Amino acid sequence: MVYYTIDQLARLIDHTNLKPFATEKDMHKLCEEAVTYHFKMVAINQVQTKICSELLAGTDIQTGAAISFPLGQTSIAAKVAETEDAIKNGANEIDYVINITEVKNKNWNYLKKEMEEIVTICRKASVLSKVIFENAYLTDTEKIELCTIANIVEPDFIKTSTGFAPSGATFEDIKLMRKHTKETVQIKAAGGIRDAATFKQMIALGATRIGTSSGIKIIQSLTKEVENGEISI
């Protein structure tokens, strides 16, 4: 059992608005909420990187750009260019989607090269890298193979889902990913995490970052559970 303050739990949340119709006004709202609740990051589509990085300048809230989102079906060169452009425009975290077609082709060398190129760019720029598996479309064997590649390349995080697939994060996937990945590679759970009970269970199973658009609701609910300034998970 681990004890957390509300602020420590808020700092595990990537506050998310990845809707294709999100406006500039929505980005202002997202960033204001992230500052108010002291979330770790705003997770946004790559094109909104500049505005969010400017809105968050002078704060400790990160700007997280989603790359090749949500399908992952672009070339390595395209993902590299998108990543470099996001960093140029102020992104300090990158969440990219793997090429799922190449998983189905069992082209593990391609996927390793893709991960290496993006992680290397991020590492050189002191930017966190997160690799989105999109587990809804993968078998357990495929997930484990990707974990094995991550153990070699060592991105900062591997991540369950985009939130746009038929299903998002599951407890079983967090267990599997934590079991097959070295401790230096962290786990991000995302997709369908909408309440405090699910949030706490994901943390208990080994996730150290949670992507959700329900962060405010979750933190408000957790605040009611506080005893002596802390919550046990």
Cα gap 130→122, rounded to integer Å? 10
Can you state the angle between helices 196-204 and 171-180, rounded to 10 degrees? 20
pLDDT of res. 16: 98
pLDDT of res. 228: 87
Task: Report the amino acid identity of residue 163.
Answer: G
Residue 96 β-bridge partners: 67, 131
Helix (H, G, I), strand (E, B) or coil at 210: strand
CB contact set of 55 (below 8 Å; sequence gap of 6+): 27, 28, 31
Cα gap 68→175, rounded to integer Å? 26
Of 122, 134, 68, 121, which is closest to residue 96 (Cα–Cα)?
Answer: 68
* Per-domain boundaries in the chain: 3-232
**Residue among 40, 130, 143, 159 flagged as catalytic:** 159
CB 188 within 8 A of CB 130: yes
CB contact set of 7 (below 8 Å; sequence gap of 6+): 38
Answer whether the bond into residue 70 is a cis peptide, omega within 30°: yes
Q: Is 188 a catalytic residue?
A: yes
pLDDT in tens, the chain (233 residues): 899 999 999 999 999 999 999 999 999 999 999 999 999 999 999 999 999 999 999 999 999 999 999 999 999 999 999 999 999 999 999 999 999 999 999 999 999 999 999 999 999 999 999 999 999 999 999 999 999 999 999 999 999 999 999 999 999 999 999 999 999 999 999 999 999 999 999 999 999 999 999 999 999 999 999 988 999 99
**Residue among 95, 130, 156, 200 flagged as catalytic:** 95
Residue 209 β-bridge partners: 188
CB 33 within 8 A of CB 25: no
pLDDT of res. 94: 98
The CATH number assigned to the domain with range 3-232 reads: 3.20.20.70
Cα gap 180→211, rounded to integer Å? 21
Residue 45 β-bridge partners: 66
Q: Is 60 a catalytic residue?
A: no
Following DSSP, what letter does each residue of 68-99 receive, concatenated? STTT--S-HHHHHHHHHHHHHTT-SEEEEE--
Q: Is 159 a catalytic residue?
A: yes
pLDDT of res. 22: 97
Task: Report the amino acid identity of residue 77.
Answer: A
